[in-house]
Amino acid sequence: MGYLMLAGAIAAEVAATTAMKYSEGFSRLGPSLVTALGYLVSFALLARTLKSVQIGTAYAIWSGAGTATIAVLGLLLFGEGLNTTKVAGILLIIGGVVVLNLGGASH
């Protein structure tokens, strides 16, 4: 159940960050409200996750998955460029999350 809440926290964080881009510096009300609500939900779900998942593991997955997803959405939605360095960074994030999970498997 903890990992299901963590997935929700990641989804809410990604939605909030994407809405922040659309808020145009918090000058548009709708996306600004989605940003605030998304981060509130994300932190609430992350806090609940920490009842059953180790903090290092949960935070690594939350931040790593969120960062990698936002990088991909930047490519797809906002036309951001893709280069070798960006691909390497995303792969390192994923690798780091995997290594932390392997090291934190016992609870």
Reported for 35-43, long-range contacts at CB under 8 A and 24+ positions apart, including other chains, are: 38/12, 38/13, 39/12, 39/13, 41/8, 41/9, 41/12, 41/16, 42/9, 42/10, 42/12, 42/13, 42/16, 43/9
Residue 105 binned pLDDT confidence (cut-offs 50, 70, 90): low
Report the sign of the C-alpha dihedral through residues 59, 36, 92, 72, in that order: positive
Average the pLDDT over 30-56 and give the result.
96
| pTM for this prediction | 0.87
What is the per-residue pLDDT across 47-88, written as a single tens digit (0 to 9) for each?
999 999 999 889 989 998 999 899 999 999 999 988 999 899
